[in-house]
Chain A
Amino acid sequence: MTAQMNRRSLLGLGASLGISVSFLGSQAFAASEGDLAKKKLVVVICRGGMDGLSVSPPVGDPDYAALRGSIAMKPEQVLKLDDTFGLHPELKAVHALALKGEARIAPAIASPDRARSHFEAQDVLETGASGVYGADTGWLNRTLEALAPIRKVEGLSVGATAPLILRGKVQAASWSPGKGVDETARLPTLLQDLYRSDPLLGPAFARGLETETMAQQAMTAMAATPAMNEMAASTPAMAQPAGMSSTMANDRQNRAGSEAARKLGSTLGGFMIQAGGPQIAAISLDGFDTHAGQPGQIATRLSYMDAVLDGLHTGLGAEWKNTVVIAVTEFGRTARVNGTGGTDHGTASTGLILGGALKRGGIVGDWPTLKETALFENRDTAPTVDMRGLFKGVLADHMAVDRALLESKVFPDSAGAKPVTRLV
């Protein structure tokens, strides 16, 4: 058992702590909180600058085809959403959800910073700051912190490394497919002793062990076959390009990649429906930096994303109705095709908002159109929604985070980013 920092802050607030403080002990809080303890939020970070005009091609926009030239899609190629927008043909599962009113697009969303550097822009997305180097903790972690005095909410990132969005004062969990921990070995206990006074390794290791326990349960609950080992072998490491397996892909490999992605999504869903499981999760998908030969590359990445989301939908089962999923990228890409059949770093892109908790509705935010005069710097899709507004709206209305805390703690200096309301 480890006392975590957020638990300590609870103590400081005089909250009653006559219960176990383990990862699996949050039911005591949930009991008094009823429905709020069921609400779930998943954030998907698409790294590399995902091309919004490929995710939701505005085939009905009169300027789209000319700007896109050789990489433009035809209206009959896309999965229709409305008179202007379709979805990329690989986003089949997302489209099926959209038809039920459980998936919507925000076609011109951006972070508040106009840097066209992947790394700065990803930092801005993940810290929730108004500019680069504005914060060194992630906004999802500050969300956990803001909720801690009221109720215990667990956060989990999927992948071998800890993403910035969940870094901060609260020790979040992380998990990626692998083989289970030998429950009989003494080593974990001995290591916990060795790490006792280590502020970095102590909390992280304890959380890792707890998550392993939960993984075993999630797997058992799902009667998961094949075993985790097989899954690990077939899962392209998260937050990494799949290297040879995507570039030297043949159909069979693609299918295997999609199966692994679906499994990953459903396992994450399985985690989240465990008693005391994480209510907030983050997962990263890479490979969206499509400077050249974009159509093939993005089709592969979007089919992978679609499979992850499809698996998540399946894994959450009935809990889908309590879930919101947001998929965002650090920036979009140029409206015009470049000289190498790709696009360069841009500004606004498409965000996807999914979940059974969503209200049915049209696009989120305005569509600025692709008229030359409407393009940002005569180059990119212009932003009409600050993504912090979307995050704030979902955190307030869906996760019941206090609005004042959202403004002061989670997204400081975001007064200009109006919360997107009435999504749930």
Chain B
Amino acid sequence: MMAAIAVTRFGLGARPGEIDAAKADPRGFLTDQIRRDGADKPQDDGEDAATRFAWMRDYQEQRKIERQRKDGDAAGQKSQAAMDAQRQLRDKIDGDFLARARLGANTPAAFRERWALFWANHFTVSSTKQITFAMIGPFEREAIRPNVFNSFENLLVASSTHPAMLTYLDQASSIGPNSRAAGRRGGKGLNENLAREILELHTVGVDAGYRQADVTEFARALTGFSVGRDNEDRAGQFVFRDNAHEPGARTIMGRRYAEADIKQGWAVLKDLAADPRTAHHVCSKIARHFVSDTPPQTLTARLEKRWMDTGGDLAEVAKALVESPEAWDPTPAKFKTPYEFTLSTWRLIGAQPSAYDRIAPILTGLGQKPFSPPSPKGWAEDAQTWASPDGLIKRMQWAQGMAAAVADRTDPNALAVSALGERLTPAVAKAVSRAETRREAFALLVMSPEFQRR
């Protein structure tokens, strides 16, 4: 049973033979996947954020000029060059997503990948802003993946200083009202979006007892954290704008921060990373993600203790999770998200999505459009959200489509065993074996309560 849990709950669903491979030492199978240098990169040749930033800005500038054109037929029309640029960007962004999905479908180290996906969702950036959209892939490659087994502080700083995050949460243009830049750029000033979400979502959590004044003070401390503009040396990279930084000392959640440049914001991030409320908030989320929508208190406490004992060493927290008996409860409590459901189906047949258009429409239809979480809170984790009447119908239709494409070449009974191992219930085994056709059997298997959960 433990091997089946290791592969389906901690991982992303069984590939052929994977449960057998985990049988000898299910815990070791998982801890062997933890490594200091982080999670895998979905592709080796992806552009960096700065390159993507430059492309998107070029496209935006071109469109701006075209929209202002007043001459006859071409007024406001999109030129062929602009359409080509847009297409190129789209292909790149879709390519990022497809590469990530393929990694998820193929990787033998699926616990490592799930761990990376958890952190990418914890530090959500989304397509709602065009400039951010182009940098989501690079954000995961540059800020998240290298740091998921690093200290939480390093991960937090990497996320909070990445151009994708700085543009997504409007930090790049936030200016201290009493800074030198404020006088020069009329009507520009403070934006508290990133400061609020770091407190509420990334670190101490919404019930940590901070007030509006703390949010505003933190926003002042963060002024200057910005992104290089097109015409600057560090275009599309993190910059600290000294002249936009609000002068003076700050008081945030009872702690005083002396006047300083970039070090002021860093000092706040460092304190937030070390705060026990952060350990509690984030460890609760880890427990909810991996084990149950309502995880046992003892599990969260165990993770918190390891977090505090090791200064937020995420590799150690991952080990503590694997060591926790509560995480191995044989009853599967987690209902798969659309991304997990589709990936686990590809893994089941030892395949991968052949094109972006094979995976994007179903995810969009199920409410998990690629790279487009609806808010900075990221994708929901709970069964209640995803197990909607409409969602189940659409899952079934997709399962039928997949069955039509792949099931004729499979042995459904063997597939059921390799998918679920000892988690295969007699009811599901019977339903699969009694099906009229291979296709029906395949669809029944992936729609079974056991395969829909992990």
With contacts A119-B206, A339-B189 taken as known, whether A243 is within 8 angstroms of B384 at the C-beta atoms is: no
Q: Identify the interface centre among A120, A247, A337, A345: most chain B CB within 10 Å of its CB.
A: A247
| Cβ–Cβ contact B365 & A160, under 8 A | yes
| Cβ–Cβ contact A291 & B191, under 8 A | yes
Closest chain A residue, CB of each to CB of B338: A160
Q: List CB contacts (< 8 Å) of A321-344 with chain B.
A: 337-342, 344
Stretch at the interface among B122-130, B146-154, B278-286, B308-316: B122-130
With contacts A69-B187, A176-B365, A186-B440 taken as known, whether A162 is within 8 angstroms of B388 at the C-beta atoms is: yes
Q: What 0/1 readout, one digit per residue, does chain A (186-205) give for beta carbons within 8 Å of chain B? A: 11101101110010110011
| Cβ–Cβ contact B444 & A187, under 8 A | yes
| Cβ–Cβ contact A161 & B367, under 8 A | yes
Q: How far is the CA of A48 from the CA of B375 in the complex (A)?
A: 8
Set of chain B residues within 8 Å of A48, measured between Cβ atoms: 375
| Cβ–Cβ contact A240 & B367, under 8 A | yes
Q: How far is the CA of A11 from the CA of B133 in the complex (A)?
A: 53
Stretch at the interface among A28-36, A208-216, A349-357, A390-398: A208-216
| Cβ–Cβ contact B133 & A244, under 8 A | yes
Q: List CB contacts (< 8 Å) of A288-309 with chain B.
A: 289, 291-292
With contacts A160-B367, A339-B187 taken as known, whether A115 is within 8 angstroms of B206 at the C-beta atoms is: yes
How far is the CB of B212 from the nearest CB of chain A, in Å? 7
The contact of B440 among A187, A201, A239, A377, by CB within 8 Å, is A187
Q: Does B267 contact A (CB under 8 A)?
A: no
| Cβ–Cβ contact B389 & A187, under 8 A | no
Q: Does A175 contact B (CB under 8 A)?
A: yes
With contacts A70-B187, A179-B397, A340-B188 taken as known, whether A174 is within 8 angstroms of B128 at the C-beta atoms is: no
How far is the CB of B218 from the nearest CB of chain A, in Å? 13
How far is the CB of A285 from the nearest CB of chain B, in Å? 11
Q: Give the secondary structure class of A's interface.
A: loop
Set of chain B residues within 8 Å of A188, measured between Cβ atoms: 396
Q: List CB contacts (< 8 Å) of B50-76 with chain A.
A: 76
| Cβ–Cβ contact B380 & A161, under 8 A | yes
How far is the CB of B179 from the nearest CB of chain A, in Å? 11
The contact of A204 among B76, B212, B388, by CB within 8 Å, is B388
With contacts A237-B364, A339-B173 taken as known, whether A292 is within 8 angstroms of B383 at the C-beta atoms is: no
Set of chain A residues within 8 Å of B393, measured between Cβ atoms: 178, 181, 205, 208-209, 211-212
Q: What 0/1 readout, one digit per residue, does chain B (354-372) give for beta carbons within 8 Å of chain A? A: 0000000000111101011
With contacts A47-B375, A208-B393 taken as known, whether A344 is within 8 angstroms of B367 at the C-beta atoms is: no
| Cβ–Cβ contact B371 & A243, under 8 A | yes
How far is the CB of B66 from the nearest CB of chain A, in Å? 10
| Cβ–Cβ contact A161 & B396, under 8 A | no
Q: How far is the CA of A92 from the CA of B376 in the complex (A)?
A: 31
Set of chain B residues within 8 Å of A175, measured between Cβ atoms: 389-390
Q: How far is the CA of A178 from the CA of B386 in the complex (A)?
A: 16
How far is the CB of A362 from the nearest CB of chain B, in Å? 33
| Cβ–Cβ contact B436 & A186, under 8 A | yes
| Cβ–Cβ contact A243 & B133, under 8 A | yes
| Cβ–Cβ contact B392 & A205, under 8 A | yes
Set of chain B residues within 8 Å of A191, measured between Cβ atoms: 396, 444, 447
| Cβ–Cβ contact B126 & A204, under 8 A | no
| Cβ–Cβ contact B388 & A232, under 8 A | no
Set of chain A residues within 8 Å of B327, measured between Cβ atoms: none
Set of chain A residues within 8 Å of B128, measured between Cβ atoms: 241, 243, 247, 287
Stretch at the interface among B13-21, B38-46, B192-200: B192-200
Q: How far is the CA of A281 from the CA of B379 in the complex (A)?
A: 23
| Cβ–Cβ contact A182 & B400, under 8 A | yes
With contacts A195-B449, A241-B127 taken as known, whether A159 is within 8 angstroms of B187 at the C-beta atoms is: no
Q: Does A403 contact B (CB under 8 A)?
A: no
| Cβ–Cβ contact A247 & B375, under 8 A | no
Q: List CB contacts (< 8 Å) of A254-274 with chain B.
A: none
Q: How far is the CA of A409 from the CA of B76 in the complex (A)?
A: 56
Q: Does B448 contact A (CB under 8 A)?
A: yes
Set of chain A residues within 8 Å of B187, measured between Cβ atoms: 69-70, 337, 339, 341
Q: Does B427 contact A (CB under 8 A)?
A: yes
| Cβ–Cβ contact A47 & B86, under 8 A | no
How far is the CB of B287 from the nearest CB of chain A, in Å? 18
Set of chain A residues within 8 Å of B390, measured between Cβ atoms: 159-160, 174-176, 178, 208, 211
Q: How far is the CA of A198 from the CA of B453 in the complex (A)?
A: 12
Closest chain A residue, CB of each to CB of B207: A132
Q: How far is the CA of A185 from the CA of B447 in the complex (A)?
A: 14
Set of chain A residues within 8 Å of B277, measured between Cβ atoms: none
Q: How far is the CA of A32 from the CA of B233 in the complex (A)?
A: 76
Set of chain B residues within 8 Å of A186, measured between Cβ atoms: 436, 440
| Cβ–Cβ contact A339 & B188, under 8 A | yes
With contacts A160-B394, A291-B191, A345-B196 taken as known, whether A244 is within 8 angstroms of B428 at the C-beta atoms is: no
Q: How far is the CA of A204 from the CA of B366 in the complex (A)?
A: 15
With contacts A70-B187, A237-B364, A237-B365 taken as known, whether A178 is within 8 angstroms of B397 at the C-beta atoms is: yes
Set of chain A residues within 8 Å of B177, measured between Cβ atoms: 339
Q: What 0/1 readout, one digit per residue, does chain A (209-235) give for beta carbons within 8 Å of chain B? A: 101100000000000000000001000
Q: Does A1 contact B (CB under 8 A)?
A: no
Set of chain A residues within 8 Å of B444, measured between Cβ atoms: 187, 190-191, 194
With contacts A176-B390, A237-B367, A344-B193 taken as known, whether A161 is within 8 angstroms of B206 at the C-beta atoms is: no
Q: Identify the interface centre among B86, B365, B386, B393: most chain A CB within 10 Å of its CB.
A: B393
Set of chain A residues within 8 Å of B335, measured between Cβ atoms: 200
| Cβ–Cβ contact B389 & A173, under 8 A | yes
How far is the CB of B360 from the nearest CB of chain A, in Å? 11
How far is the CB of B429 from the nearest CB of chain A, in Å? 11
How far is the CB of A249 from the nearest CB of chain B, in Å? 10
The contact of A241 among B90, B192, B372, by CB within 8 Å, is B372
Q: How far is the CA of A118 from the CA of B449 in the complex (A)?
A: 33
Q: Does A39 contact B (CB under 8 A)?
A: no
Closest chain A residue, CB of each to CB of B450: A194
Closest chain B residue, CB of each to CB of A284: B374
| Cβ–Cβ contact A201 & B191, under 8 A | no
Q: Does A104 contact B (CB under 8 A)?
A: no
| Cβ–Cβ contact B447 & A250, under 8 A | no
Q: Does B345 contact A (CB under 8 A)?
A: no
Set of chain A residues within 8 Å of B440, measured between Cβ atoms: 185-187, 190
Set of chain B residues within 8 Å of A174, measured between Cβ atoms: 388-391
Set of chain A residues within 8 Å of B189, measured between Cβ atoms: 338-340
Closest chain B residue, CB of each to CB of A191: B447
Closest chain B residue, CB of each to CB of A156: B389
Set of chain B residues within 8 Å of A247, measured between Cβ atoms: 127-130, 133
Q: How far is the CA of A70 from the CA of B186 in the complex (A)?
A: 10
Q: Does B270 contact A (CB under 8 A)?
A: no
| Cβ–Cβ contact B190 & A338, under 8 A | yes
With contacts A339-B175, A339-B187, A339-B189 taken as known, whether A161 is within 8 angstroms of B386 at the C-beta atoms is: yes
Q: How far is the CA of A157 from the CA of B367 in the complex (A)?
A: 13
Q: What 0/1 readout, one digit per residue, does chain B (380-421) give for beta carbons within 8 Å of chain A? A: 100111111111111011001000000000000000000000
What would be 11 A-B contacts, judged by CB atoms less than 8 Å apart?
A119-B206, A161-B380, A161-B388, A190-B444, A194-B427, A200-B387, A208-B388, A211-B393, A339-B175, A339-B191, A340-B189
8 nearest A-B pairs in the assembled complex, by CB-CB distance: A339-B189, A160-B367, A208-B389, A162-B388, A243-B127, A208-B393, A247-B130, A174-B390
Given contacts A162-B385, A200-B383, A292-B191, 9 further A-B contacts (CB under 8 A): A115-B206, A157-B388, A181-B393, A181-B396, A190-B431, A194-B447, A241-B128, A247-B128, A287-B128
